[in-house]
Amino acid sequence: MQDLIKRYFWVLGGITVMICAVFAAKGAGHIVEAVWLGDPAQAPKVATATVRPDVPVKPTRSKDGVQLATRNMFCSECTPAVVTTTDPSQIAITQLPLQLLATNIGPSEKQSYATVVNTESLKQGSFSLGDTLPGASGKIKAIRYKYVDFENSGRLERVMLGGAPPITTVAAAEPAKPPGDGDDLQASIDSGIKKIDDVTYEIDKSLIEKVTANPMAFMKGARVVPAMKNGKPEGIKLYAIRPTSPYAKLGMTNGDTLQSINGFELTSVDKGLEIYAKLREATSLEVEIIRRGKPVTLKYTIR
């Protein structure tokens, strides 16, 4: 074996010389390129780009915030629907006594619905595309985040979120306020709710009677929005809670999701309104909520 290595040891020397020669040739090539092949003194002429009328121009990104405003905050994977409607100013605000309480925009138009109440007949419910609003003669044509378009008397009309219908009649005298409205209700809220600790409260029974007599006045203290999870309703979420509202007095905060009251699941605003009728006979309430991702139970004693 040693004799074989000694006999062909010259091969290792030859391979080493070849590798050094290759590296030396590459180094010499780079030196020559740097010295003799530099950048030209003048750049080549570039033809001026012209706009061709037969080629459509790609739209540029807008910075007006429309994409953020049309995003579904309850579905991070949903793509905002492309709205191809006419000029909104051409659609008249409805004269019907309708009030839009909440909207829920789903992944598709068929999965979107809106909660609307007729303030005269007190008929209310959740409506989707193709349904007829209480008091209207036509069907719903579009449901958006802040408004609902529907047909009425052969024309397209609109009801806005949180906006009361316009008043066209001239009242000769101030109409009587419903029970539990205005300053009377606020005074009852201030005196009728007593905080024991962070999750325990006492409620005066007279306040419950005023709330059940006029639930719409109670709901004005916050914005009520259906909460969705995996495409299914899981409760009612509260936003824009006023500091003087009954929601704040009862220990609720912005972003709370109300899931059930005394075991009755709040899967829609309609079911929340139905529970008002059952409060007259109740002596205690347990409200299950989700606050910052954690379950919390609020307990109320009615006296």
Site of tokens 């007006």: 64
Per-residue pLDDT, averaged over 206-224, amounts to 71
178: DSSP letter: P
Out of 72-81, 137-146, 229-238, 286-295, least confident range: 72-81
Q: Where does the pLDDT of residue 271 fall: very low under 50, low under 70, confident under 90, or very high at 90 and above?
A: low
Q: How many CB atoms lie within 10 A of CB 4?
A: 8
First to last CA, the chain: 107
Rounded distance between C-alpha atoms, residue 217 and residue 180, angstroms: 7
Q: For the chain, give the longest Cα–Cα distance.
A: 127
Q: Where does the pLDDT of residue 171 fall: very low under 50, low under 70, confident under 90, or very high at 90 and above?
A: very low
Out of 15-24, 86-95, 164-173, least confident range: 164-173
For the entire predicted model, the pTM comes to: 0.39
- Is residue 96 predicted with pLDDT exceeding 80? yes
Q: Which helix (H) or strand (E) holds 27?
A: helix 9-36
Interhelix angle 205-213/182-192, rounded to 10 degrees, is 150
The domains located in the chain, with CATH, are 69-160 (2.30.30.830), 182-302 (2.30.42.10)
* pLDDT tens digits along 56-94: 655 555 555 656 666 666 666 665 555 444 455 578 888
Any idea what the Cα angle at residue 277 is, between residues 275 and 283, rounded to 5°?
80
Q: The sheet that has 140-143: what strands, in order across it? A: 92-93, 155-160, 147-152, 140-143
Structure confidence at residue 157 (pLDDT) = 92
- Is 100:161 a contact under the CB 8 Å cutoff? yes
Q: Where does the pLDDT of residue 150 fall: very low under 50, low under 70, confident under 90, or very high at 90 and above?
A: very high
